[in-house]
Structure 1
Amino acid sequence: MKLNRFKKRLGTVVLTFSLMGCSDLLDEQPRSIYTPEYFKTEKGVIGGITSMYAHLRYFYGNGYFYAGIQSGTDESTWGQNVNVDAKRADFTNQGVFSGTDNPFAGLWGVFPNINTASGIIENAEAVGTVPPSLIAEARFFRAFDYFLLVQTFGGVPLDLGAGELKFNTSTVRTSVRNTVPEVYTKAIFPDLRKAIEDLPDVSRLTGTLNKTVARLFLSKAYLTYGWWLENPNNIPTYPETSRTDPDGHNPSWYFQQAYDIATTAIDEHPSSIGLEEYFYDVNEGSNDRNKEMLLYADHTQESDLYNGSPVNGFGSGASPGSFAGWFSTWNYTEIRSASSPGGSYSVSSVQREAVQPLGRPWTGIAPTHELIMNTFADKTNDSRYDGTFTTVYRGNWQRGGTSNEILYNANNLPVRMGDPILTFLNSDLPTITYPSGAGSNNVGAGTLPGRADWVVGPSAISRIVYPGLWKIGPYRTDNGNSLGQMNIEYTRPWPIAKFSELYFIAAEAAVKGANTKPGKNPRELINVIRARAGKWRWDNNNNVAKVQDNSSAMIAATPEVIDIDYILDERSREYYGEGVRWYDLARTQTWHSRGAKYTICGINKGDRTPVTYTRDIPLYAYLRPIPQSQLDGMEMTDAEKKAYQNPGYN
């Protein structure tokens, strides 16, 4: 089966939205099309603003974009069943990465949303009844989209046909790319500064913007641009330009601005925004839209319309549906148990279920051995490994129609509903006995004396058998006693920005030389996150309450001197699998070094031979290719199209 990719057109907006009604959530209502005249009305301006939240669904939660952005990093590599685009993005001799069918092509589709934002900004003042706080939301999203584009492709056009940052109402098939400094200083920074000025402290509705989220993105944009100006590893840029700031500032100025704005956001946030007490609570499905989640691509179980895709049935795997979680899920349904003592192992004891530890398998993105063994080395004090991965797969066969009260598993021992069927161990044990090939359990797992669950040690993690990603698994409230809607796109909001990132931004800026405030040097900032990670209220994979505070041990283990590598390690522990890693490595210019090698076993069940792969990541790949379909649609000469494309992809 082959899934559909990004829908090709984001741009003629086919939904309009109303802010009226008794709910405190955005209320989406259908409309055929936006017209220039419609934007000159209050209803049109407000509808356009709300549509901007919906456009996030076209890439956040898209499985192909997710696979491309995770694969090739120091965290992840391609899984056994992934498409060829993500394999190419891994840079391990799986084909040539190009502008044709690359997994980042859909990001180019944000330009219609940018144009919508420009239309709102131009027309709202003329309407006269739209408050500045709503116009600020359009400014934020225009800056947000340009920030995403400039990190991905380098310089991009500010003129969509009617002039720089002007609302365009006619078809234009030519384009000129602005430089990176122009995109930052003309579009991103001014829009975000104005958004901070005009946005409210507290969101007007659940999930809408506020000052804190705008401060987060301005501080991150300043941080990213500071790195770009400094360019410590001589990464090429395009269009070619000097690393000189048009406003006359040096990298240190931008690092200081990043620190100051991030720490202001930490100090001045309202009580409705902040860190959750436990890491587990940040990602638990029943606690979605919590106070730490600053921005997300929203989905819901309540309505096809408000979800952006069908809530029931069989998911097609296309935006705006959220199906990225499939890619990080291996096919655990192939685990086998026996229906009688000594019988054949023919029963699927862990079936597809719409619960957070499980979900629909696609086996597309796998964690590396280095991530499991080194990054998450402390699995005792630090709750984040347990709050990130599914490492214990429990029996659920009766929900799928198999009536047996007892099945027989490893060592021919009995298991009941809810018992562990397969466990990924925290460490390799010499007493594990593995079968030849897939073995009777059908996935190549081993046994330990006296244990009824099949087991897999860290060194046996492969491209086909690996821990799933609990944090982004499905959550529904209508399963009852059945397996639920286990094959549909997920109905949870996809995380984009969390309050916790402000601590990382400030710490990184301080490491880059920003002057710090009392109590907020890099180690102190990182230790706020690490102390929280040491607090347990629940043992996720053992499925029991666990009231334990390891904060002191976590703080004691933090190095006295924090560097960029340590911050990147901590970011991985905090945000693994959320589709942000490539941007972290690209910003810090460490992708080609940190991602240069990784270890994993092969694509066949029972392959437990770790192989270390070497990636040859060329420096030009720090810029992703412009989609070939975009170039093909331009009325430009072949030479002009070639010059438009990022170097290395022609």
Structure 2
Amino acid sequence: MTLSTTMTMYKSLKIGSLSLALTALLATGCQNVLEQEFRSELGPEFFATAGGLEGGVTASYSIARFFWGSEGFTYTENAGTDESILGASDGNTTFFQYTNILPSEGSIGSIWNNSYQAINNLNGVLKFGPSANIDAARRTTLLAEAKFLRGFYYYLLVRNFGDVPLSLNFIDVPTTSASRAPIADVYAAIIKDLTEASQELPNTSNQSKGRATKPAALHLLAKVYLQRGWSAAAQPTDFQMAATTARTLIDNQATYNVGLEQDFADVFREGNEYGKESLFVIDRNTDPSYAESQFNNSPQIANGNKENRANFFWVSLYTNALNVNAGIPGAPNNTVAVMDRDARNGRPFRRFRPTNYTLNTAFADRTTDSRYFKTFQSAWIFNRTTPVTTSRGTLVAGRDTAIWMPGVEVTEAQRRAFKGVIISPSQYTADLHPTMTKYTAVNRLTVNESSYRPIILFRLADTYLLAAEAYIKDNKPAEAAAMINAVRQRAAYKTTNTPAQNAAAATALAITPAQATLDFLLTERTRELYAEYARWQDLVRTKTLASRLATYNPTPGFREYHLLRPIPQSQIDLTTSGPKFPQNPGY
């Protein structure tokens, strides 16, 4: 099977391979990843060298930076669901309201083009890499990483587009014909790659959690079985295999050196991205020379499309909390901003804000379940150098709470007694709302700089919930409840509780097998995984997007055909030989 525009960067082996080598150099924090002198011509034999094998795999990891943390991909994975609605600072309603999603949409084209670029890199690695003159164990690991990554990118494609071109061979000659393989064939190829990767990868990585390991492969393989089990290509044992694969990881945590963090707050604590719960991350680098950031046109080696801006997208406009109490009798009004922008509180892009479902249904329990206050910022400490005086006195920097979002309605007396500004749920707006803090990045070069934090893509709590979903579909509610309870009981933990109080809270949060339904699980996934680039695919996979939108976030523009993304128009236009490349229905 051949591809057309998906592989256009490989029209020439000279250009393609040299581009790959340079990409590999950029993608690492070590200047010596490729020590050979770059030549003007690099052919397929490049992959058969030690540097080519290492560089080909490294470059393919780097391509994932086009997605997680970028603005367009963040829309495609998080918008248009029950969890989030549009914030104030961006008029881009396309993915939130399903208006005018076109085949020319750049963020959709990015998924297609960059995934196929990575796949062809990996096809070259897998074709020529076995003959590389490199330590045998290292060669085995790199080839297993290549299989993991090829499965990873094909999974990204099939869950977004359905039938897609399937090529497992390195393409070095341009072609103008292309066709789509059935999803059954694509899933079979993914499962083969991931199964082999899970057998050949090491239990842990001595480099970083940005490299594939057996736990990462098992997690992704379980998810692919689950995804196929819901699809038209379902096999009778898919849900059983999803559960079995997930349990292989869950039941052998000591072997793989993984485990749930005791405190949910530690999962996303800055600096703990390689913690024991993390299985796989999209790596970043604190060295600005290799972080692929374009802020202020620096560094020279830059690509703004690979910036991690996740630290901006959910941040409220805390710098403009003015006239909050206007019209409330007896409540002190503020006509002066009580906060300045700083790195700790973030750059207020306001692309996303939580829905009422997220705040009031998923996170309704804020007493026993600790996750609401560990997911959302509810207090802002006064940070202005210019003094601000309210009716209750002058705010003291570093000590007084300037803005408080208690999450419940308050009385006028409570407002009058508070030194700063109280914003209750009835006052939330597209500008002012709780800030989601999972991607907060305090340690940045400047206040407006993008994040250098790795993004956690797979983590063990999700493995438990994937196993629960598989058990629900396999009609094993007791096993499903046990998986869900492992996550919920961790959610009960608070550092301010005594051990007895934590134990009592964990017992209170446990559910019965009768409660282990798909609807409960989807709401549990919001509590645990809000904003983790999973919701759109979760609802599409479980065929609940339409019903949950109707219930929690009515979206008149949504149609059933939106369950697949449009094939990029460039792919259709440049397929000029053979049958016309088919578009997905509705577009």
Match of 2:360 among 348, 373, 376: 373
Q: Distance in 2 between matches of 1:595 and 1:58?
A: 28
Change over 3 Å in CA distance of 1:551–1:453 after alignment to 2: farther
Correspondence for 2:440: 473
- 190-199 vs 412-421, greater mean Cα deviation: 412-421
Match of 1:262 among 246, 250, 253: 246
Match of 1:123 among 117, 128, 143: 128
Match of 2:423 among 453, 456, 465: 456
Unaligned runs of 5+ in 1: 1-7, 160-164, 230-242, 434-446, 479-483, 539-544, 600-612
Q: Distance in 2 between matches of 1:34 and 1:497?
A: 35
Q: Distance in 2 between matches of 1:313 and 1:353?
A: 21
Change over 3 Å in CA distance of 1:453–1:349 after alignment to 2: closer
1:278 corresponds to which letter in structure 2? D
Correspondence for 2:408: 427
How far 1:17 sits from its partner (Å)? 4.4
Change over 3 Å in CA distance of 1:346–1:459 after alignment to 2: closer
- State whether structure 2 residue 332 is matched by structure 1 residue 352: no
Change over 3 Å in CA distance of 1:9–1:392 after alignment to 2: farther
- Counting aligned pairs with the same residue, the percent is 30
1:621 corresponds to which letter in structure 2? H
How far 1:139 sits from its partner (Å)? 0.2
- State whether structure 2 residue 282 is matched by structure 1 residue 321: no
The CA RMSD measured in Å over matched residues stands at 3.2
How far 1:635 sits from its partner (Å)? 2.4
- State whether structure 2 residue 204 is matched by structure 1 residue 224: no
| Structure with the higher fraction of residues in strand conformation | 1
Match of 2:51 among 27, 43, 47: 43
Change over 3 Å in CA distance of 1:271–1:648 after alignment to 2: closer
Q: Distance in 1 between matches of 2:303 and 2:144?
A: 33
How far 1:537 sits from its partner (Å)? 2.1
Match of 1:156 among 159, 164, 170: 164
**1:631-646 equivalences in 2 (<5 Å):** 631-636=572-577, 640-641=580-581, 644-646=582-584
Q: What SS is found at the alignment partner of 1:374?
A: helix
Correspondence for 1:568: 522
Match of 2:105 among 98, 101, 108: 101
| Structure with the higher fraction of residues in helix conformation | 2
Match of 1:582 among 533, 536, 539: 536
Match of 1:112 among 102, 110, 117: 117
Match of 1:527 among 479, 485, 489: 485
How far 1:310 sits from its partner (Å)? 4.9
- State whether structure 2 residue 132 is matched by structure 1 residue 132: no
Q: What SS is found at the alignment partner of 1:57?
A: helix
1:323–1:489 CA contact under 8 A, matched in 2: yes
Change over 3 Å in CA distance of 1:181–1:474 after alignment to 2: same
Q: What SS is found at the alignment partner of 1:640?
A: coil
Change over 3 Å in CA distance of 1:210–1:514 after alignment to 2: farther
Q: What SS is found at the alignment partner of 1:393?
A: strand
Q: Distance in 2 between matches of 1:120 and 1:568?
A: 38
2:28–2:58 CA contact under 8 A, matched in 1: no
How far 1:293 sits from its partner (Å)? 1.3
Change over 3 Å in CA distance of 1:168–1:213 after alignment to 2: same
After superposition, give the CA deviation of every residue in 1:342-370 in whole Å (9 maximum; x if it has no partner). 99956543222122xx2111111111111
Q: What SS is found at the alignment partner of 2:575?
A: coil
- State whether structure 2 residue 39 is matched by structure 1 residue 58: no
Q: Distance in 2 between matches of 1:471 and 1:122?
A: 40
1:474–1:490 CA contact under 8 A, matched in 2: yes
1:289 corresponds to which letter in structure 2? Y
Change over 3 Å in CA distance of 1:522–1:51 after alignment to 2: same
- State whether structure 2 residue 260 is matched by structure 1 residue 290: no
Correspondence for 1:387: 374
1:326–1:362 CA contact under 8 A, matched in 2: yes
- 523-532 vs 307-316, greater mean Cα deviation: 307-316
Q: Distance in 2 between matches of 1:295 and 1:350?
A: 36
1:283–1:472 CA contact under 8 A, matched in 2: yes
Q: What SS is found at the alignment partner of 1:553?
A: helix
Q: Distance in 2 between matches of 1:457 and 1:88?
A: 29
Change over 3 Å in CA distance of 1:336–1:619 after alignment to 2: closer
Change over 3 Å in CA distance of 1:626–1:387 after alignment to 2: same
Correspondence for 1:234: none
- State whether structure 2 residue 190 is matched by structure 1 residue 188: yes
2:34–2:51 CA contact under 8 A, matched in 1: no
TM, length-normalised to structure 2? 0.87
Q: What SS is found at the alignment partner of 1:536?
A: coil
How far 1:271 sits from its partner (Å)? 5.8
Q: Distance in 1 between matches of 2:412 and 2:303?
A: 38
Q: Distance in 2 between matches of 1:34 and 1:273?
A: 40
How far 1:71 sits from its partner (Å)? 1.6
TM, length-normalised to structure 1? 0.79
Q: What SS is found at the alignment partner of 1:397?
A: coil
Change over 3 Å in CA distance of 1:28–1:71 after alignment to 2: farther
Q: Distance in 2 between matches of 1:371 and 1:360?
A: 23
Change over 3 Å in CA distance of 1:298–1:154 after alignment to 2: same
